[in-house]
Amino acid sequence: MTRLSVNINKIATLRNARGGNIPSVLDAAINCERFGAQGVTVHPRPDERHIRYQDVYDIRPIIKTEFNIEGYPSQSFIDLVLKVLPHQVTLVPDPPDALTSNAGWDTIKNKKYLKNIIDIFHSKNIRTSIFIETDPELIKNAVETGTDRIELYTEPYAANFSTNKEQAITPFIKAAETANKAGLGLNAGHDLNLDNLKYFKQNIPGLLEVSIGHALIADSIYFGLENTIQMYLRELK
């Protein structure tokens, strides 16, 4: 079964809009675990517009499930990860002012840079993943960075799913086959939802984990968090 990691950034966005501690990010992390999610993901940004660095410190000791920290590897981010020691760190090439992650790494141009950072995290036994697009050459070059996994950027799949799902999934199948052949673990995320998740899971060989935030948290407004997590888990079976 592909594991579900719930990105709780949007919980923090709602909290920060009003101040105070409602809704509680810590309660959300605990409940995601309690309701069956196999992981919790956070993406702290320098401006702390959603998840704050202190949230990351607070979450780590209170959950037993996989903790995944994703973000751009600035020095402050690297320092945070080395202090918190999550199970996984996902490196994303977005600048500090980006609204959301919208591209993958160029593993040819940034190979040495990524390798140096990954070596740092591996020295602390932290599993690494690189956010990446479906270009087979970029995936092949990811191997030389030393990363354990890649995370496929699935926004193009989600954007084209409703018009031609077969065409939308094709580059991702080829990317997954390339990753499997190269010995890379395979994650995926961005705009996966209850409409497109099952088809993606059924067609992507070796899919270990999906990270889902915006759609899942939005669905939970209508269905409740526990029910929503169970709905997503059923799509992954």
Eight-state DSSP code of residue 84: H
Q: Read off the tokens for 140.
A: 């092949």
Whether the CB-CB separation of 186 and 176 falls below 8 Å is answered with yes
Burial of 220 (C-beta count, 10 Å sphere; 0-12/13-18/19+): buried
Name the active-site residue from 33, 66, 190, 235: 190
Query: Is 43 annotated in the active site?
Result: yes
Residue 206 falls in which region: left (phi positive, over 0), alpha (psi -120 to 50) or beta: left
Radius of gyration of the chain (CA): 17
Cα–Cα distance measured from residue 132 to residue 152, given in angstroms and rounded to the nearest whole number: 5
Query: Is 235 annotated in the active site?
Result: no
Query: Is 133 annotated in the active site?
Result: no
Cα–Cα distance measured from residue 33 to residue 63, given in angstroms and rounded to the nearest whole number: 7
Name the active-site residue from 33, 50, 66, 70: 70
Name the active-site residue from 43, 66, 133, 235: 43
Q: Provide the annotated active-site residues.
A: 43, 70, 190
